[in-house]
Amino acid sequence: MKYTTDKNSFLGIKPTINPEDAGFFVLSVPFEKTTTYGTGTKNGPKAIINASAQVELYDDELNRATYKKGIYTYKPIDCKDDTKNVFKKINSTAKKILRYNGIPFFLGGEHSISHAIIPAFLDKYKNISILHFDAHADLRSSYENSPHSHACAMHPFKNKCPVVQVGIRSIAEEEIKFVNKGKIKTLKMQENPNIKKLTSKVIKNLTGKVYVSIDVDGFDPSVIPATGTPEPGGFNWYDALYLFKKVFEAKKIIGVDVVELSPLMHSSVSEFTIAKFIYRLMGYTNARSL
């Protein structure tokens, strides 16, 4: 497969292929309207794309070059309109991508973009579940007068499909009524210190087809410091990789969003780490077919 250098594409390269031949898709969604502490998530996708050009194309863990499956990068969503119209554009674009067989990766932006993305998957697939990696439960029905707040990311899906939450170590009082109720399975970080046992619980509670929603504050701030609402006690690098590798091997991954990077002015640690993480996830996703 031939590639051309392209600074606006994931990994800094663009395959000379049509979308229907791509193994993966990358769509930047620089939406930011409801951040409540640290800001700058609108700059997250571009920072990840820029940093990804420094990621080695050969994966040293998997001993292969995942990019050869074809990674097609779309033009970023224009997020300057009002929330309703922006969400329509996000949803419409997600549906267009889902016409193809490749696995889409959405780069946020704040976590509320999941409200526009996940319905496209619910429309296409039956019996899916969501793996929610986050420091926060994100189960509020509304926050600061907005039902589309980043603090409400999982609320719309609590009755639509199973949602398995990991990394959770911050729960608001009004969210308690939703935790471990109905289709929500909340595996609190402090109650699940053993990564192997935690991973088994996650796999057991997910359906065969899984959408993965990753707030980067699920990681400990020592791993990803550049996020708007960091919480101590999160996942370290290798425990997170263990969890995702086992889940991706056991389940069919249908889509992934990675959100809430707020780049820091004098550090590129977080965006590079996230770029490498995304590339590693791509490798895990196709582990059995590469």
**Domain annotation covers residue 136:** yes
User: Is the separation of the CB atoms in 245 and 284 below 8 Å?
Assistant: yes
Quick one: tokens of 161? Answer: 């499909």
How many domains are contained in the chain? 1
**Domain annotation covers residue 187:** yes
Segment 171-228, tens digit of pLDDT: 999 999 999 999 999 999 999 999 999 999 999 999 999 999 999 999 999 999 999 9
**Domain annotation covers residue 290:** no
What percent of the chain clears pLDDT 90, i.e. is strictly above it? 87
Structural domain for 144, as ranges: 3-285
Q: Domain of 217: which CATH number? A: 3.40.800.10
Q: What is the CA radius of gyration of the chain?
A: 17
- Regarding pTM above 0.85, the answer is yes
